[in-house]
Amino acid sequence: MIPMVDLTAQYPLIREEIERELSKVLDGAQFILGPNVQAFEQETADYLGVKHAVACASGTDALHLALRAAGIGAGDEVITSPFTFIATAEAIRYVGATPVFVDIEPDTMNLDPDLVRQAITERTRAILPVHLFGHPAEITPLQQLAYDNGLLLIEDCAQSFGATVDGVQTGAFGIAGCHSFFPSKNLGCYGDGGLVSTNSDAIAEELKVYRNHGSRERYYHHVIGYNSRLDEMQAVILRAKLRHIDSFNAGRRRAAHAYSEALGELPGVVVPSERPGMQHVYHQYTLLSDRRDTILAALREKQIGCAVYYPVPLHQQEVFKEDCKGQMLSVTEDIARRCMSLPIFPELNDAQIDEVTSTVKSVF
């Protein structure tokens, strides 16, 4: 049996620190937005190479608060990827804006900048690329497009913590980078958590107001905000894990490269590619094959974890039917029919990798 993600494998490495620091939090009884959250925000800003990091309650909230802080609202269009988790587009809807889905590039499965250019209208206010599965989107051309057209660039980094483009971290390119600390993400806590990275003093200030009921000073409220805060216990866990994030991501890369080495020559199988200058952090290891369903069945038979991310692209989801009537995005639709993901986590060992790859190969 091999799970998709095995969080028990890394706990021994951080157990001592987490237990020690959690018991201090319990003794001190300060649970929300305390000194650990503040320290974690500073350590994350330093790690990402940005001026500010503002923690919040989830990755979904990070997207929502970032869009709100950026002033995006009713009547605005936000260009994004149809091949992502629903939260990306949900957040656009939360602020009353309209998601505009644009097709992806077949190798990285990320937004195609040429198609983004063609989709810009009078109403476009922002571009929201997703660094899907841990491979950075084509962020430099997207940044240029945003600049040339007076648009905001907001990054969905929920799957890309630690990924870089020419040495610069994802989340440091746009006006805001939105991170998720859901337990299975590259940097995960033991509950829900999120964070927005930004180089803008104004955006950071707005985020702090919105996450705490629209107040700058306690019990004085000038806008309607939210309850979206990180708690001290999650911050303790995140601080412990942040120290190891590069080695965790290196473990994911090592496992991914072993998979690709073993599976790259199989007929009709497309293994993940890595563009020059870009550091893929393999939140997922996703391959393409016309024989996907047969491979999935063989893996399930052996109780090896496997999944389809994502079977239904957002432009074909019931909830966006009205917006996307009949819209066809051929690259996305083709990939949704052929994609499948294998188990990936930093501690995946050689024996497990062998078992996964030999099971996949047995289909051919």
Work out which of 25, 53, 72, 130 binds ligand PLP, going by CB under 6 A: 130
The amino acid occupying position 243 is R
Nearer to ligand PLP, 178 or 269 (CB): 178
**What contacts 115, CB < 8 A, 6 or more positions away?**
102, 103
Shortest reach from residue 83's CB to ligand PLP, in Å? 10
194 binds ligand PLP (CB under 6 A): yes
Which CB atom, from 152 or from 187, has the smaller least distance to ligand PLP? 187
Please count the other Cβ atoms lying within 10 Å of the Cβ belonging to residue 294.
Answer: 12
Pick between residue 37 and residue 360 the one whose CB is nearest to ligand PLP.
37
Nearer to ligand PLP, 242 or 269 (CB): 242
Q: Which 201-260 positions form the footprint of ligand PLP (CB under 6 A)?
A: none
Of residues 228 and 359, the one with the C-beta less far from ligand PLP:
228
Residues 6+ apart with CB under 8 A from 141: 113
Shortest Å distance, C-beta 156 to ligand PLP = 5
Q: Give the whole-angstrom CA distance, residue 51 versus residue 105.
A: 31
The span from the CA of 159 to the CA of 212, in Å, is: 26
Which CB atom, from 58 or from 169, has the smaller least distance to ligand PLP?
58
# binding residues, ligand PLP (CB under 6 A):
15
Which region among 18-26, 85-93, 214-222, 233-241 touches ligand PLP (by CB under 6 A)? 85-93
Q: Which of 10, 88, 110, 170 binds ligand PLP (CB under 6 A)?
A: 88
Using alpha carbons, select from 356, 271, 305, 242 the residue that is nearest to residue 6.
305
Q: How many residues does the chain have?
A: 364
For ligand PLP, which is the closer residue by CB, 173 or 182?
182
- Nearest residue to ligand PLP on Cβ basis: 59
- The neighbour count for residue 219, using CB atoms within 10 Å, is 6
Least distance in Å: CB of 307 to ligand PLP?
13
Are 180 and 58 in contact, with CB atoms under 8 Å apart? yes
Binding residues for ligand PLP restricted to 170-189, rule: CB under 6 A: 180, 182
Between helix 59-69 and helix 87-94 the angle, nearest 10°, is 40
Kindly state the smallest distance separating residue 312's Cβ from ligand PLP, in Å.
Answer: 15
Site for ligand PLP in 21-80 (CB under 6 A): 58-60
From the CB of 6, what's the least distance to ligand PLP, in Å?
18
Taking 3-state DSSP, the helix, strand and coil percentages for the chain, each rounded to the nearest 5, stand at 40, 15, 40
Choose between 88 and 260: whose C-beta lies nearer to ligand PLP: 88
Strand runs labelled E in the chain: 52-56, 77-80, 98-101, 124-128, 152-156, 164-165, 168-169, 176-180, 194-198, 215-217, 220-221, 278-279, 285-288, 339-342
Tell me the C-alpha distance between 258 and 270, whole Å: 14
Q: How far is CA 286 from the centre of its chain?
A: 15
Q: Which stretch binds ligand PLP (CB under 6 A): 9-17, 29-37, 83-91, 237-245?
A: 83-91
Pick out residues in 134-163 that bind ligand PLP (CB under 6 A). Answer: 156, 158-159
Q: Where do contacts with ligand PLP occur on this chain (CB under 6 A)?
A: 58-60, 84-85, 87-88, 130, 156, 158-159, 180, 182, 192, 194
